[in-house]
Amino acid sequence: MTSEFALRLYLQLDTESKADSGAAIADCEQQVTDSQTAPAATAEPLRATAVWPVKVGVVPPLADRLSTRPESAPDLAAGFSRNTAIALVPRGTGREPTDGWLQCCGKTQVAAAFAEAQWRARSVDLLLWIDASSAAGVLSGLIEAAAVITGAQVSGDAASVAAGLLAWLRQTEQRWLAVFDDLADGNVLSGLWPTGPTGRVLVTSSSPAAVERMPGIAVAELGPFSPREAMSYLVGRLSADPDQRRGAIDLIEDLGCDPLALAQATAAISSSWQTCADYRQRFVARSDLIRQRNRAQLRPARVAWTLSLDSADYLRPGGSAQTCLVFAAVLGGHAVPVAVFTTAAGNGYIAGNGHDSAVSSQRTTNALRALEQVGLVSVDHAGAPPAVWLNKVMVQAVLAATPAEMFEPAVTAAAAALLDLWSGPQTMARSGPALRTSAESLRRAAGRLLWSGGCHPLIFRIGQSLDDDGLTAPAAEFWSEVAAISDSTLGPDHRDSQELARRLAAAYMAAGQQAQAITWYRQLLAGWNTRFGADSPRTLTARVRLGAVLTAAGLVDDAINMLKDTRAECERALGPEHWLSQEARDELAAAYRAAGQVAAAIRIYRRSLSDRERAAGAQDPGTIAIRQRLAEAYLADGKTKDAVSQFKRALTDCQRSLGPNHLDTIRAQSSLAAAYHQAGRMASALQLYEQVGVGSAQALGADHPDTLAAAVSLASVYYKVGRITDAVSLLQDVLERAEGTVPRPDALIKTAREELVTITSQ
């Protein structure tokens, strides 16, 4: 990458082909309907167990010799004495900014400096920094905050977790500051806007339109440095060698007091033997060259970064600094874990092939250090994990300037690096949201490159991470978008399109959007029926899944009709012993149960149990599961003796195959206890529920919903046998614990309160 590489931005070389390559994808993205992300309004506050103060989120590193900007920046402390919410936006951009360089006014740095000052002064008990560039980023930040505040493991739907946190913020006495950084669309905060008497909200956005409808927010504009601030900043940055300040006044005037341009210019000067006058000569010459070739309207930072590229190349000759910058740009430059750069794939692209791993890693590290030295990237070395930051407008500039012969290998290497580092749910757990953000940036920058020959595994990994984190609405939106892209790019009959449709249907179900799930399963079924045939295992699987979704949606008659036919087709095409035939029978039995036709369900479960026991043995997990479903059906049909017999057998088989402390064994105990309770055998129910409570607390924790549910059942038995004081004490403990869990089990709380009222009113 030479200065000619940087000039591509202004010459607009290759940008048309890149835009065309992403046109189809952009069209698909426009067709995606926004998902509802608002949490339930009835949520109650979670229970805080944190030791204050607490900082949540990754605050961007503060720039070297950061200016406090007493003349050009708004006084946020004074502003918050009059307002509870402030938005920082660039000055003079209008409602829809068109020149990205105008957005580079230092909004995030001003917000970060204020947040860190509040933290150091202990003016806040909770500092919450959230990436607001997407709904997933906002929800991820709120989930992390809920987990830290409660000290509880977060599981379940993200919206309910966020609701509990927002309810806590509304009533807490702890002082809090929430910063939503880089808000592009105000809709991502719909239903997620925090309020409370002890709280303040700070938003940074490049678009005034994104914040204009937010409740009670004061908009503060931020422009360039004042001349005095610019001089103070330059003097501070060049303090090591005062001779380098020669020509400072003229340089500041040429740079228009632009914060980003000054940061890059002073970094380039301080890392060389140049003076301000020398740099100004290069700046003027580069500006003239760009105008001659492109006639573009120039902002100082648009020129300064090209000179920084030259400086990086001088510090680290051989091209590794340039490839490192492109690598950072395709990953979006937002808290990209340093470890991504030093993977085998990252080293191979940045340092070049032909080196051993140690040499490649050192070359990559040196390249990153050179970019940091000339002000093109910031590296948060103290972060957990250490991360690389690159200005968003710089990302766009680098991507526009990168030729295809550099861009395509960078995309390939970055995708491989992310997958290598993101290999499992337990790998670099703290990096999960950052890796997802980087992967999403890569996906959008890559256009069709991640769809060559099929859907890249990284795309599936992004969606899976949203599913795993309980981000149900963003997951449904993501799968919907990529499914539409796949249909357009690969065709609806491609195997990846079919798999994406299946993932989307599952995401719709998880998000409670059952109508959409049914629509997509029907589309999936139609596609597979055409491609593979009506009796192929793939098509039959789609029919079974659709039947299960119809049951879940309450369309039990449709489900029964479909599953009856599907069971017959599976047994004819695959044989009655095939796993899919067995699954079709099980789903049909579930549909019968949902329709109230319990006798029909019992007949199917008895046949399935006999078949599985014969084929796999009594202690096979599948056999045990069917036995428990049969027992539940017996219980629903009032045949408690038969139900108890099957539950006892299931418990014995679990104990033998899994051991007494396994979660499945504990759940089998709970099911048998419930059957004893319904049969009126209170002594047996009491003994088992006490065992379940102890086992569940050891395996899951005292605050887990399963543990609390067992305690509510035990309290009911205590009441039935006359142990009123024990029942009341246990229910009160359950309510105290349940109201602090994440997510809150509202149905369980309701049951516990009703039980307590019943007991205490008598």
For residue 582, tell me if it sits in a domain.
no
Of 393, 421, 449, the last residue of a domain is: 421
For residue 447, tell me if it sits in a domain.
no
Judge contact between 139 and 37, C-beta under 8 A: yes
Separation CA 650–CA 627 (nearest Å): 6
Q: Which two tokens stand for residue 658?
A: 């899994």
Judge contact between 650 and 628, C-beta under 8 A: yes
Same domain, 173 and 293: no
CATH of the domain at 495: 1.25.40.10
For residue 333, tell me if it sits in a domain.
yes
653: closest CA among 624, 614, 611, 676? 624
Interaxial angle between packed helices 705-720 and 682-700, expressed in degrees from 0 to 180 and rounded to the nearest 10: 160
How distant, in Å, are the alpha carbons of 229, 357, 371, 582, 627 from that of 612?
Answer: 78, 52, 63, 9, 10
Same domain, 621 and 720: no
Same domain, 204 and 98: yes
Quick: pLDDT tens for 327-345: 999 999 999 999 999 999 9
Of 512, 532, 552, the last residue of a domain is: 532
Of 222, 257, 288, the last residue of a domain is: 222
Instruction: Return the DSSP state at 70.
Output: T
Per-residue 3-state assignment (H helix, E strand, C coil) for 587-633:
HHHHHHHHCCCHHHHHHHHHHHHHHHHHHHCCCCHHHHHHHHHHHHH
Same domain, 716 and 672: no
Q: Phi-psi region for residue 375, left (φ > 0), alpha (ψ -120 to 50) or beta?
A: left
For residue 479, tell me if it sits in a domain.
yes
Task: Return the pLDDT at 592.
Answer: 94
pTM above 0.85, yes or no: no
For residue 624, tell me if it sits in a domain.
yes
Same domain, 324 and 248: no
Judge contact between 654 and 648, C-beta under 8 A: no
For 109, the domain range is 54-222
| 3-state DSSP helix/strand/coil % of the chain, to nearest 5 | 65, 5, 30
**Alpha helices (H) in 121-224, listed in sequence order:** 135-150, 158-171
Which stretches in the chain have pLDDT values below 50?
1-2, 9-10, 12-42, 95-98, 425-429
Same domain, 209 and 118: yes
Same domain, 160 and 107: yes
CATH of the domain at 368: 1.10.10
For residue 751, tell me if it sits in a domain.
yes
Same domain, 642 and 694: no
End-to-end CA distance of the chain: 82
Name residue 701's amino acid. G
Task: Return the pLDDT at 431.
Answer: 63
SS3 state at 223: coil
Provide φ and ψ at 199, rounded to 5°: -115, 160
- Residue 157: partners with Cβ closer than 8 Å, 6 or more residues away: 470, 472, 510, 743
Q: Which two tokens stand for residue 271?
A: 């890392």
Provide φ and ψ at 730, rounded to 5°: -70, -40
Separation CA 745–CA 708 (nearest Å): 9
Q: Phi-psi region for residue 196, left (φ > 0), alpha (ψ -120 to 50) or beta?
A: left
β-sheet bridge partners, residue 176:
126, 199
| CA 344-350-431 angle, 5° bins | 55
Judge contact between 591 and 559, C-beta under 8 A: yes
Tally the domains of the chain.
6
Separation CA 623–CA 606 (nearest Å): 11
SS3 state at 230: helix
SS3 state at 176: strand
CATH of the domain at 700: 1.25.40
176: closest CA among 57, 43, 44? 57
